[in-house]
Chain A
Amino acid sequence: MQRIGVFVCWCGSNIAATVDVKAVAEALKSEPGVVYSADYQYMCSQAGQDLIKEAVKEHNLTGIVVCSCSPRMHEATFRKTAAAAGLNPYMVEIANIREQCSWVHKDIPSGTEKAIILGKAAVAKVNLNTPLTPGESPVTKRALVIGGGIAGIQTALDIADAGFPVDIVEKNPTIGGKMAQLDKTFPTLDCAACILTPKMVDVAQNDKIRIFSYSEVSEIKGFVGNFDVTIRKKARYVKEDVCTGCGLCVEKCPQKKIPNEFNLGMDNRSAIYIPFAQAVPKVATIDAEACTMLKKGKCGLCSKVCTAGAIDYKQQDELISEKYGAIVVATGFNPISMEKFDEYAYSQSKDVITSLEFERLTNAAGPTAGKLLRPSDLKHPHTIVFVQCVGSRCASCAEKGKEYCSKICCMYTAKHAMLTRDKYPDTDVYVFYIDVRTPGKNFDEFYRRAVEEYGVHYIKGMVGKVTPEGDKLKVRASDLLNNKQLNIDADLVVLAAAIEPDKSARPLATMLTASMDTNDFFTEAHPKLRPVESPTAGVFLSGACQGPKDIPETVSQAGAAASKVIGLLAKDKLTGNPCVASSDELMCNGCSSCERVCPYGAISYIDKEFRMPDRTVAIRRVASVNPAVCQGCGACTVACPSGAMDLRGFASGQIMAEVDAICK
């Protein structure tokens, strides 16, 4: 028989306002096994934890029930308390009487009654708890960073700085990500390339960092500390270690009409290309879909001009297997497609562009060498209309836009407007907005400067329609503050497109078994207290893959993710989750049902000798669970026809006892 202590938390007034905590403590006193019951204002505080520790000693408790907030919040806290008091940490159960009781029910009698029932269920479960000891597993001291944008770069640099080897996997031919495409950065207006490219060089020169560019993660197996990852290094038809990046092949390539992704299709590149001058690694890549040699077997000019002999038309995709202790996801974002936003005539006119295209237009390394010229006729635009929230905060148009605020658009539009007025004071600049959101250090000052010093016309209201007419764009918009319709003849319309997670994120989340929200942003383990960890152990989040972010926030999150990784890799051994499946070998009939449903391949079959009653020895095939691989989902326990398989910590008997307690 257990000796159980029940500890009911008031959580200030969070619980005590709708649950009579004294009555709960009193009612649970008479439950089987309960020898002590108490209530306290804040059980999770030092004093509350001391109360538990003292009670364990004084009353010789073997099990603890804490009626408090969600176990997702403080289960770990109270397990530590139990361990400090000399109890097995898995002898603790939490009755969730805050999130699932006091916060959702309004009246005291029904709240109290439910709290008592939840407490009884927890007591019934603890009565059947057994001490569990987690297994240990080694830690591979190498980290994988998926994505080579500023988030991935900063994370990798910080991890390498602590002395651990890091690999970056980047799907594009170069690292740098979106930041490499930007012109200036708000609110300081320093040039993106000037602050990013030195970091890219640092990555290339750091002997702890390997870059797998033009590569994708194709398989992830294993668990925290022991991930087995397969990386597919796509054939770039250029020997990376031989190519010097001289660019002669790029110059000579006769296929020059391929839309240049780096400039968002606003100019062309050749079939063999280096995305931009500061690319890292600075190695040419052949676009297999555009190269005549690879398509038709004719040409081969690049191979002839390459003095280093780096071209290899026979190169194949290469699969690289590596072990990692931790994985950082830094897959970043993309602007959403503007195709569905017909009202802005994006697909009808070349002079309706997105903000990222505007960045390239104003970038000295861009298609117009930094001169602000409209894409259609390369004339200088005199009236520019910026439209904010295109697809953002779009609850009513969820099928084409996003419900959330993309966060960065207000600031970059202020930057674009300001820079335009600064360079071309003869230009009229209009910004249409729903709200201007500028929380952040020096952000609001920046926006005020755009309005007050640079004379940008900020108009509250949305653009209803953009119609191309001759060489003008007729913009019809509403001015909500003055309550009138506006008609503007614009030369250029810039759409602040909402941002969304990169398309590669969803399949990656499936491989990682990491959770995502409905918008495909990765979910953090706790929105406030564990913002850079994924709920999946050993997987960390960096940058815009977790939510819309600007560069300073991304860099700080990257550093935070790196410090978490370093903390993990600094350990020699990891303690695992003891709540794993285990099979009663005497009941197992070796049918393989459990093996077939296990998503982790944690179950194998072994031939085992059994002593039979007639003193003979029989060899039987029985299931055996590898506790280091088992994640404890319990699929096998239900599949097992003989009831041999059970899950520690969530045993059938325990759950049944909870059901009984609730239905009493």
Chain B
Amino acid sequence: MQVKEYKPLIVAFCCNWCSYAGADLAGNNRLSYPADVKIIRVPCSCRVNPMFVLRAFQRGADGVIICGCHPGDCHYTSGNYYTRRRMALLFSMLDYLGIERDRTRLEWVSAAEGAKFAATMNDFVEKVTALGENKRLEDLRCKK
């Protein structure tokens, strides 16, 4: 029997001004990271409703990462501070529900940090791959 290599499903929310641009820079510099990472563009990391994260896990994502501007550098002055507070709460709640800490991450990536973006993604994918499939929150009713 052939065992299919496990590929995690990672959803990344990136703010338009810093992290999405950082991801673009990683592309410009051809810094590779696994194709398992799928990026969703949001105007600011504070646009990420905890609901979106829950939805991703419900639909079978194995890890969710949110990237925003560095503290103090938010394009909207203070959006990432809200994100930091909200996600601290959400991640600890998810941890309580059995979603391991390594499946969620909040990272600050500036528009100049293409290398950091790629390194972060490589590291995150590695950690999630080590944890294996997320079965805790996945809603099988969503699967056909």
Contacts and interface: CB of A to CB of B under 8 A. Distances in A.
Given A70-B24, A70-B27, A518-B110, A655 B40 contact: yes
A660 interface: yes
B46 A633 contact: yes
A255 to B, nearest CB: 40
A121 B32 CA distance: 22
A662 B38 contact: yes
Interface in A629-654: 631-635, 637-639, 647, 650, 652
Given A634-B47, A650-B43, A99 B27 contact: yes
A270 interface: no
A517 B112 contact: yes
B75 A515 contact: yes
Given A96-B39, A515-B73, A637-B49, A103 B28 contact: yes
A71 interface: yes
A99 B23 contact: yes
A103 B27 contact: yes
A100 interface: yes
Interface residues of B, number: 53
Contacts of A99: 23-24, 26-28
A644 to B, nearest CB: 13
Contact of A633 (B30, B61, B79, B118): B79
Nearest to A117: B38
B60 to A, nearest CB: 5
A93 B44 CA distance: 18
Contacts of B72: 510
B43 A659 contact: no
B67 to A, nearest CB: 12
B17 A664 contact: no
A663 B9 contact: yes
A104 B55 contact: no
B44 A633 contact: yes
A523 B24 contact: no
Nearest to A521: B112
Given A100-B24, A104-B118, A662-B40, A638 B48 contact: yes
A106 B47 contact: no
Contact of B76 (A635, A638, A652, A655): A635
A579 interface: yes
Contact of B26 (A104, A117, A639, A655): A104
B35 A113 contact: yes
Contacts of B125: none
A111 interface: yes
Interface string B3-44: 000000101000011101101101110111111001111111
Contacts of B31: 104
A655 B50 CA distance: 12
Contacts of B75: 513, 515, 535-536, 633
Interface string A480-524: 000000000000000000000000000000100101111000010
Contact of B30 (A73, A104, A516, A662): A104
A579 B46 CA distance: 15
Given A100-B23, A655-B52, A660-B59, A635 B79 contact: yes
A105 B51 contact: no
B65 interface: no
A634 B43 contact: yes
Given A515-B75, A638-B86, A658 B40 contact: yes
A106 B27 CA distance: 12
A501 to B, nearest CB: 14
Contact of A663 (B11, B77, B86): B11
B62 to A, nearest CB: 10
A98 B44 CA distance: 22
Contacts of B92: none
Interface in B104-144: 110-113, 118
- Identify the interface centre among A579, A650, A663: most chain B CB within 10 Å of its CB: A663
A638 B28 contact: no
A658 B82 CA distance: 23
B84 to A, nearest CB: 12
Contact of A634 (B34, B42, B56): B42
Q: Which of B27, B33, B51, B86 has the most CB of A within 10 A?
A: B27
Interface string A518-552: 10000100000000000110000000000000000
Interface string A261-291: 0000000000000000000000000000000
A300 interface: no
Nearest to B59: A663
Contacts of A536: 75
A625 interface: no
A104 B49 contact: no
B82 A597 contact: yes
Contact of A515 (B52, B60, B69, B118): B69
Nearest to B42: A650
A655 B23 CA distance: 19
Scoring A106, A635, A652 by chain B CB atoms within 10 A of each residue's CB, the highest score goes to A635
Contacts of B32: 104-106
Contacts of B74: 513
A515 B75 CA distance: 6
A517 B59 CA distance: 37
A106 to B, nearest CB: 6
Interface in A80-117: 96, 98-101, 103-106, 110-111, 113-114, 117
Nearest to B70: A518
B110 A634 contact: no
B17 A515 contact: yes
A664 B142 CA distance: 9
B87 to A, nearest CB: 11
A633 B43 contact: yes
A429 interface: no
A182 B50 CA distance: 56
Contacts of B61: 659, 662-663
A100 B20 CA distance: 9
A96 B19 CA distance: 14
Tell which of A510, A518, A633 has the most Cβ of chain B within 10 Å. A633
A118 B38 CA distance: 7
Contact of A101 (B18, B35, B43, B60): B35
B82 A103 contact: no
Contacts of A647: 43, 47
A-B pairs with lowest CB-CB distance, top 8: A99-B27, A634-B47, A663-B59, A633-B76, A103-B27, A110-B35, A633-B44, A99-B24
29 contacts: A71-B41, A100-B24, A100-B27, A103-B28, A104-B27, A104-B30, A118-B39, A121-B40, A510-B72, A510-B77, A515-B73, A515-B75, A516-B73, A536-B75, A599-B77, A599-B78, A633-B43, A633-B75, A635-B76, A637-B49, A647-B43, A650-B47, A655-B42, A655-B52, A658-B40, A659-B59, A659-B61, A663-B11, A663-B60
Interface of A: 70-73, 96, 98-101, 103-106, 110-111, 113-114, 117-118, 121, 510, 513, 515-518, 523, 535-536, 579, 597, 599-600, 631-635, 637-639, 647, 650, 652, 655-656, 658-660, 662-664
Given A72-B21, A597-B82, 15 more contacts: A99-B23, A99-B28, A101-B35, A104-B32, A110-B35, A513-B77, A515-B69, A535-B17, A634-B42, A634-B44, A655-B40, A656-B51, A659-B40, A659-B52, A659-B55
